[in-house]
Structure 1
Amino acid sequence: MIAAAGSAALLFGAFVFQVLGYAPCAMCIWQRYPHAIAIVMGVLLVFALPVLPILIIGALSAFSTSALGVFHTGVERGWWEGPTSCTGSGLDVSQMSVAELLPSASSSASSLVMCDEVAWQFLTLSMASWNAILSAVLACLWLVAIAKTQRGRLPEIADVS
């Protein structure tokens, strides 16, 4: 439940930043979906009997948003390339029509939030980096919950010394 609440807090924080004027890029949005799944898993823990599958899905959700945060951090820092739709110029010219290539055809390019630009940082870490770190901690909490539910269910290994 604590891990699910942590995902809720991170998701709430993302929405607060959005309200403050920090529009999310595409990769920021991608990182929100696993948090939503983890929150749902936390709610299901209150009602569901098969706890282990819920805990596993919660852990996988937290790990996946952490991995997306690491990937996004690498894109921001130029360690690797990101999606062409939201990095560099943000335009994939090979997929555009002639009308879209004209300067007056689209205003969406000017409002596009770039995934390779850091909009905000704290202690030299971007929002994506903080999401990666904090989500990894949440994933560990999910794993602790899994370990606690499995304690006593695994056979003891006999000491032959």
Structure 2
Amino acid sequence: MAGAFLVAFLSALAPLAARLSEATLALPPCALCLWQRAPYWIGFALASVALLGFGRRWLLIGAGLCASASAFIAAFHLGVEFGWWPSPLAGCQVAAINPNLSLEEMMASLAPRPTKPCDEPAYLLPGFPLSMAGMNLIYGAGLAALAFTFARKEFR
């Protein structure tokens, strides 16, 4: 039970910390940054359901796979940052949708160039040579290992 709670807490912590860094440090996310967050929310939901006790080991394995997926996206993002391969996305920060505007008006309001390309690393700590994508790779892999460890203990 404590393992499922810890996995749920840590799964929610990652995207919330990323959002906090955006708000407090003015670090705009690129599209790949945003993609890295979705698996954590799914992992949070799976680990939260595991708190109920039904199918806990399988739900923790699922949460671990979600953390692994985020780590995989982060590894891909690092490759884009290092210039090993191009980004498959435009890399723009997600634009806010205004339902009062027509599609043509929304398209005209977009910046002509991406505001945050995916190949431009975002650093949380100035001078620290690990980008946010690199930190997420480590965090996601660690969380996956933790979730798999708790799932293995459930088999006993």
The 5 Å alignment of 1:20-59 reads 20=24, 21-59=26-64
Count of residue pairs brought into register by the alignment: 135
Alignment-derived partner of residue 68 in structure 1: 73
AA partner of residue 54 (structure 1): L
Alpha-carbon deviation of 1:10?
1.3
AA partner of residue 17 (structure 2): G
Runs of 4+ aligned structure 1 residues displaced above 6 Å come to none
Q: Which runs of 5+ in 1 are unaligned?
A: 88-99, 152-161
AA partner of residue 19 (structure 1): A
Alignment-derived partner of residue 156 in structure 1: none
CA RMSD of aligned residues (A): 1.9
Alpha-carbon deviation of 1:106?
5.5
Alpha-carbon deviation of 1:112?
3.0
Calculate the TM-score normalised by the size of structure 1.
0.76
- Counterpart of 1:83 in 2: which secondary structure? coil
Relative distance call for 1:59 and 1:30 in structure 2 (3 A) is: same
Percent identity over the alignment? 33
Larger Rg belongs to: 1
Alignment-derived partner of residue 96 in structure 2: none
AA partner of residue 82 (structure 2): R
Q: Distance in 2 between matches of 1:84 and 1:134?
A: 24
Alpha-carbon deviation of 1:74?
0.9
Contact 2:58/2:151 (8 A) holds in 1: no
- Counterpart of 2:54 in 1: which secondary structure? coil
Deviates more, 1:58-67 or 1:110-119: 110-119
Calculate the TM-score normalised by the size of structure 2.
0.78
AA partner of residue 65 (structure 2): L
AA partner of residue 16 (structure 1): L
The 5 Å alignment of 1:128-139 reads 128-139=133-144
Relative distance call for 1:26 and 1:133 in structure 2 (3 A) is: same
